[in-house]
Structure 1
Amino acid sequence: MGISQKIDNPGNSSPTNSQPDHLIFIINKQENIESWNDSAEIILGYHQGEIIRKHISFIINNGDLKELIHQSSNSGYASANVQLKKCNDKLINATVSLNSMLDKQNQIMGFLVLVKNINEVKTTVGYTEEKLTQTSNNNCEEQLEHLKKEFELFSYSMSHDLSAPLRAIEGYVKLLEDDFSEQPNPEVTESITHIQYNVKKMAALISNLLTLSRIATRELKMSEINMQELVREVVEELSKQYECKPNITINDLHPATADYSLMNLVFFNLASNAIKFSSRQTPPIIEIYSEKTEQNIVYVVKDNGIGLDMEKADKLFITFQRLHNIELEGTGMGLMIVKRIIDKHKGNVGVKSEPGKGAEFHFSLPV
């Protein structure tokens, strides 16, 4: 990966401005530390030279570390309770999550490691439980709102810390591009293009991670939605983003009571997937329709794309999972976002497909 630097806060921000107990590391596929954020340096007490290129086991004291990495390699995500080793040999109880990072060929090139200090989590939870037994329902709601805001602050902090080095990389790449503009070097141009592609992909990953966290804490803003109009707007927006022009049929769609902006996101991800995976067909055909029962309204996005093996379908809605090795844009998080949103609406999401025969993604909303 070759980042080999600390993930600094940009501008005049000091390390203490972000949550000091949220540690972020990036490790390569050899499991060596490539970069970290300010909070990691503050809490663990190591200097950059003492950490960079060290194996992750240098700071994570966990016998199950190999299993954790193995699980993240297979499913894209893994989490476990661990002990962190500080520079003074003291141990900190913490929980760590590993997210695998894929290259353009869908191969693992490293892991994003997020660490949360468990002691503070326990203190916060303990405080909330105590208040639940001592206060009225109004005070309980205040505490819940407080926890939500803390979680949102953590999500913002994480996004902020990860976005800063990307902006720096983007800036340096632009300088390189300008330097070689008068005397183009094919090798350098190819490398610059590859860097720009990965910066764009990482930025999309950060954005989607932030979206996932916001879905978890967001209160639903329910209203009666004209799904026909919503889907038409989504398709119009997508038509500007893709070179291929699929034949998209929007049948009469039943209206529903749901969160408008989240439903927009659901159809955007499902329709975007359908376009991507049918883009090599002549012509690409997509159909969007709905059916109503006594309990639910079911919405379907059907395509004539490459399809998938239903034996692997359970992995579709897991973060960072991609079941095809073909080179297509995307982060592997779209369907996970769809599932989180539909779960929040107390609905269900699923797929019907066969390899080479397209796919039908469907979700239901209660009547």
Structure 2
Amino acid sequence: MAVQKYDIRKPDGSFEERFWSPVNQPIFDENHQLICILHKAEDVTEFMRLKSLASSTDKLSERLRQVEAEIFIRAQEIQVMNHKLQREIMDRENAENKEQETARLFSTLFYKSPAMNTLSDGETGRYINVNDNYATFCGFTKEEMIGKTAVDLDLIIHSKERQQVLQEIATKGSVRDVPLQVRVNDGTIKWISTSAHSIDIDDKRCFMATMIDITDRKKTEQRLEALNEELEAFTYSVSHDLRAPLRIMDGYADILISDYNDKFDEEGVRTMMTIKSNARRMGQLIDDLLNLSHIGRKEMVSELVNMDKLVHDVVRENFPGAGMHAVIDIGPLDAANGDSNLLRQVWINLISNAVKYSGKQDNPKVAIRCTREPGAVTYSVQDNGVGFDMKYASKLFGVFQRLHKATEFEGTGVGLALINRIITRHNGKIWAQAEKGKGATFYFSLPV
């Protein structure tokens, strides 16, 4: 902008001639909309005076050039400062926009989520905010809940459990999927699954919690537990009651064979032996059913189990002559947590099956191995026996399910069901891979 002349009134009332060089810089936002105009005026009176006298002396001309250069430099500095200020304004606006967007997303997630959400004071436990789903679930309005604690609203049934959850959030920073019972406003007892974490808001510690209603799921679980208990009790009772007549049957068959053997012909003796054989088989089946029922009721004692030692003990104690019929190769086995007595039964059953189903091969072999993966240890028992068709694999772990005829291989069809129940109680998995005529490999994994 051109230099402008102004007459400035002095305190004594007279006027003084002054010259200004104004510089105007527009400031725009990120959408190129004008926000404001920065106006700066430089007093160039001396410059104009020197300029008017420039023709008188070379000295004045040199001074004039110096002043012009100073004015140019100052104008450039002002322009740089203006650009910097404009960038700072835009950066601040962008940051504010991001904060507003984050706040909007948080608000949407908190209030519109299908889950139940609460924000509470980390020190007092008082609700700072709750969403509509939680208020409706509890039978209150939001206004009735904000500013109060769960204890104030009589939601808590087991205060000790609540304190443990709060303590864990305070020390570890979060909890995940903790089942809790609550008493809602009408007195109904319900179940919730709670996940929560600690956050700082304006230098104040708060707890952000997300909950889902698991009341129906808990009722279903309780019904299933009751049904399983009834089924196990029935199985145990029936199996136990069947033992007595079987013992009598087997005993009388022994008496007939020993005391009246000379009165039977060959077919009669064969019939008596068939009775005894089937009585023993029925007795073994009852024992297996009792073991299966017992597994469901037995309390687990979890400890770190030395699997390497356990498997060697099982082979030494239960398969002393295995080397005559099968080569059992035991690789290094990692330790795992579990009930050693129950896991011993798993190894006995798996190794017994491997020895049994590979026994008809020319060179029967059984290989026991272990692999470690993130979160689990997987063990395997491999044989080179008859194998099976994988399309029947889904039947393997059911009670009384057999993939081979009893005349080919002895068994009751309960062993793998027993193993499956034990591994399930350890929160593990069991599966198999096989090919007919080329052996089978049974795997089970335990969490670490």
| TM-score computed with the length of structure 2 as normaliser | 0.47
Select 1:341's aligned residue among 405, 422, 428.
Answer: 422
Q: Which 4+ runs in 1 deviate beyond 6 A? A: 145-152
Q: How many residues align?
A: 229
- For 2:228 and 2:416, locate their aligned partners in 1 and report how far apart those are by CA, in whole Å: 24
Map Cα deviations across residues 46-84 of structure 1 (whole Å, 9 max, x no partner).
Answer: xxxxxxxxxxxxxxxxxxxxxxxxxxxxxxxxxxxxxxx
Letter of the structure 1 residue corresponding to residue 375 of structure 2: Q
- For 2:392 and 2:415, locate their aligned partners in 1 and report how far apart those are by CA, in whole Å: 17
Residue 187 of structure 1 is matched in structure 2 by 267
- For 1:176 and 1:243, locate their aligned partners in 2 and report how far apart those are by CA, in whole Å: 39
DSSP 3-state at the match of 1:300: strand
* % identical equivalent positions: 42
DSSP 3-state at the match of 1:297: strand
* Pair 1:235-2:315 in alignment: yes
Letter of the structure 2 residue corresponding to residue 264 of structure 1: R
* Pair 1:330-2:375 in alignment: no
DSSP 3-state at the match of 2:332: coil
How much has 1:133 moved relative to structure 2?
5.4
If asked which structure has higher relative contact order (CA below 8 Å, sep 6+), I would say 1
How much has 1:182 moved relative to structure 2?
4.7
CA contact (8 A) 1:310 1:352 kept: yes
* Pair 1:253-2:333 in alignment: yes
1:210/1:239 Cα in 2 relative to 1: closer, same or farther (>3 Å)?
same
Residue 278 of structure 1 is matched in structure 2 by 358
Select 2:237's aligned residue among 157, 166, 173.
Answer: 157
- For 1:201 and 1:133, locate their aligned partners in 2 and report how far apart those are by CA, in whole Å: 50
How much has 1:220 moved relative to structure 2?
1.2
Select 2:247's aligned residue among 152, 167, 187.
Answer: 167
Letter of the structure 2 residue corresponding to residue 161 of structure 1: D
Residue 100 of structure 1 is matched in structure 2 by none
- Structure number with greater Rg is 2
Map Cα deviations across residues 88-123 of structure 1 (whole Å, 9 max, x no partner).
Answer: xxxxxxxxxxxxxxxxxxxxxxxxxxxxxxxxxxxx
Residue 431 of structure 2 is matched in structure 1 by 350
DSSP 3-state at the match of 1:272: helix
- For 1:274 and 1:361, locate their aligned partners in 2 and report how far apart those are by CA, in whole Å: 9
RMSD (Å) for aligned C-alpha atoms: 2.8
* Pair 1:360-2:360 in alignment: no
CA contact (8 A) 2:232 2:296 kept: no
1:177/1:156 Cα in 2 relative to 1: closer, same or farther (>3 Å)?
same
How much has 1:154 moved relative to structure 2?
4.5
- For 2:394 and 2:252, locate their aligned partners in 1 and report how far apart those are by CA, in whole Å: 41
Residue 81 of structure 1 is matched in structure 2 by none
1:148/1:313 Cα in 2 relative to 1: closer, same or farther (>3 Å)?
closer
CA contact (8 A) 2:233 2:293 kept: no
How much has 1:149 moved relative to structure 2?
8.5
- For 1:214 and 1:241, locate their aligned partners in 2 and report how far apart those are by CA, in whole Å: 30
How much has 1:233 moved relative to structure 2?
1.8
Map Cα deviations across residues 164-183 of structure 1 (whole Å, 9 max, x no partner).
Answer: 11011011101111124456
DSSP 3-state at the match of 1:234: helix
How much has 1:153 moved relative to structure 2?
5.5
- For 2:398 and 2:415, locate their aligned partners in 1 and report how far apart those are by CA, in whole Å: 10
How much has 1:184 moved relative to structure 2?
6.3
How much has 1:241 moved relative to structure 2?
7.7
Alignment of 1:80-99 (within 5 A): none
DSSP 3-state at the match of 2:368: strand
CA contact (8 A) 1:148 1:217 kept: no
Map Cα deviations across residues 253-287 of structure 1 (whole Å, 9 max, x no partner).
Answer: 11111001110110111111101100001121000
How much has 1:244 moved relative to structure 2?
5.4
DSSP 3-state at the match of 1:349: strand
CA contact (8 A) 2:381 2:441 kept: yes
- For 2:341 and 2:404, locate their aligned partners in 1 and report how far apart those are by CA, in whole Å: 29
How much has 1:365 moved relative to structure 2?
0.2
Letter of the structure 2 residue corresponding to residue 331 of structure 1: T
Alignment of 1:10-89 (within 5 A): none
Alignment of 1:302-317 (within 5 A): 302-317=382-397
How much has 1:247 moved relative to structure 2?
0.5
Letter of the structure 2 residue corresponding to residue 198 of structure 1: N
How much has 1:302 moved relative to structure 2?
0.2
DSSP 3-state at the match of 2:325: coil
Residue 157 of structure 2 is matched in structure 1 by none
1:146/1:335 Cα in 2 relative to 1: closer, same or farther (>3 Å)?
closer
How much has 1:157 moved relative to structure 2?
2.6
CA contact (8 A) 2:236 2:293 kept: no
Select 2:278's aligned residue among 198, 206, 231.
Answer: 198
Map Cα deviations across residues 277-320 of structure 1 (whole Å, 9 max, x no partner).
Answer: 00001121000011111111000000000011001111111110
How much has 1:359 moved relative to structure 2?
0.3
* Pair 1:224-2:304 in alignment: yes
1:148/1:324 Cα in 2 relative to 1: closer, same or farther (>3 Å)?
closer
DSSP 3-state at the match of 2:421: helix
CA contact (8 A) 2:236 2:289 kept: no
